[in-house]
Amino acid sequence: MKKFKQIVAATLLAAAAAAACAQGADVKAKLKALKPADFPTRPIELSVGFAAGGGMDVVARMVAQKFTEYTGENLVINNRTGAGGLLFHRWMVTQAPADGYAIGVGNNIIIGDSLLRADNKWSYRDSEALAFINYEPVLWFTSSTGRFKNQPLGEIIKAAKKDQGGVKVGTVAATLLEMLAEQVEHKASVSLNKIPFNGGKPSIAALMGDHIDISFGFLGEVQGLGDKVRPIAVASLKPIAAVPGVPTFNSVLNTDDVNWVMWRYVIAPKGIPADRRTWLVAAFNEVMKDPQLNAELEKLGGIQDPAMDTPAKVTAELERLARAERSFYVQTGRLK
C-alpha cells in the first residue's frame, strides 16, 4: 500500500510538472506572438531608484530574471540613486525616452516626491503604470550589538521619553519612511533624532556599525545578516507571516492608523508606442503570475495582489494611495 501511494504521489508530481511546463510554453508562445518585429533589438533598461542590495534592487533583479526566462530578452538593472529616490523618479517622468527601452521599478515614494519635492515641475501622473509587482510593509530593526539589542519597541519608547532627541532612527527625508518616524513621535509623545539616508541598505549599514539605534528596512535588505539585526515592529494593519512574532506599530502604540508600505510597480514614461507597451504589459503580468517568483517574494515579506492585473487597476490604486498620503501631508502641515 505504501509503495502504491508513493507511485501515485510521484505520478501526480510528474503530471503537475508537465502541466507547468506546458503552461510555460503556452505563455512564451503568446508573448512571442505579441512581440513587435522591431522591439527589442537591444537590452531593456530597468532602473531602480535605490542602491544595489537594497529591498527595491533585490526585487527588481528577481523580476528581471523571470522576465528574461519568459521572453528571452535581456533586462538590465540600472541603479539611478540619489535624494532618496527623487532623482530616479524625476528622470523617469522628465527625461527618460518613451521608446520602451527605459522603464523602472516605481514605488509610492513618487507620490511624496511629486507633492513635496517636485516644485510643481512634474507629477507622478506624468508617468504610467505597466504592471503591479507587490507591496511590503516597512520594518524597524535594531542591531545585536547596539544599545537596544534585546529591547522591544515599547521599552525603546520608554527610553526615548527619558532621553528626548537621543534615540537615533534612520529615515529617508520627505518620504513615507520619515513619516513613519514622525507618526511614532506623535503617537508616543517622544522626540526622535531622525538621521536621513539614501535608502535602506546604507541605513542598515549604519545600524550594523552602531551609528544609529534603529533602522527602517525590508527583509530583502537584511538577508544573510542572521541574528545581527532584529525586527522590532512592522508598519502594517496586521502582523505578517514573514516575521512571526513581530508586533505591529499599531499594537504597540495602541492605535490603528500606522500603515506604511512600499508599493512597487513597473513604471514607464508616457508615450511608448502602443505595440511595445502592449507587449511589455503582457510580459510583466505573466512574470508576476509565476508561482516560484511569488513564493520567493513572499519569503522576503512581499505581499501579492492578483486583483492588480491591469494598468488601469494599478493606476487607480496609486491614486487611492495618493489621496491618503496627501491627507497626511495636510494634517501634518506640509501641504495646505
Q: Give the CATH number of domain 35-135+264-331; options: 3.40.50.1100, 3.40.190.150, 3.40.50.300, 3.50.50.60.
A: 3.40.190.150
Q: In this predicted model, what pLDDT tens digit does every residue of 277-322 receive, in sequence order?
A: 999 999 999 999 999 999 999 998 899 999 999 999 999 999 999 9
Grid coordinates representing 286 are: 505573466
Collect all residues with Cβ–Cβ distance below 8 Å to 39 and sequence separation of at least 6: 100, 273, 275, 276, 279
Beta strands 44-48 and 102-107 are parallel
- Exposed, middle or buried by CB within 10 Å (0-12, 13-18, 19+), for 260? buried
What is residue 6's predicted lDDT score, i.e. its pLDDT? 55
From first CA to last CA, the distance across the chain in angstroms is 73
At 1-16, the pLDDT tens digits run: 555 445 554 554 444 4
Structural domain boundaries in the chain:
35-135+264-331, 139-253
pLDDT of residue 1: 53
What are the φ and ψ backbone dihedral angles of 48, each rounded to 5 degrees? Answer: -130, 135
List the one residue out of 124, 125, 121, 129 whose CA is nearest residue 104: 129
CATH topology match: 35-135+264-331 vs 139-253: yes
Question: Which CATH code fits 139-253?
Answer: 3.40.190.10
pLDDT in tens, the chain (336 residues): 555 445 554 554 444 444 445 456 788 899 999 999 999 999 999 999 998 988 899 999 999 999 999 999 999 999 999 988 999 999 999 999 999 999 999 999 999 999 999 999 999 999 999 999 999 999 999 999 999 999 999 999 999 999 999 999 999 988 889 999 999 999 999 999 999 998 899 999 999 999 999 999 999 889 889 999 999 999 999 999 899 999 999 999 999 999 999 999 999 999 999 999 999 999 999 999 999 999 999 998 899 999 999 999 999 999 999 998 899 899 888 898
Per-residue confidence (pLDDT) for residue 102, from 0 to 100? 98
Per-residue pLDDT at 104: 98
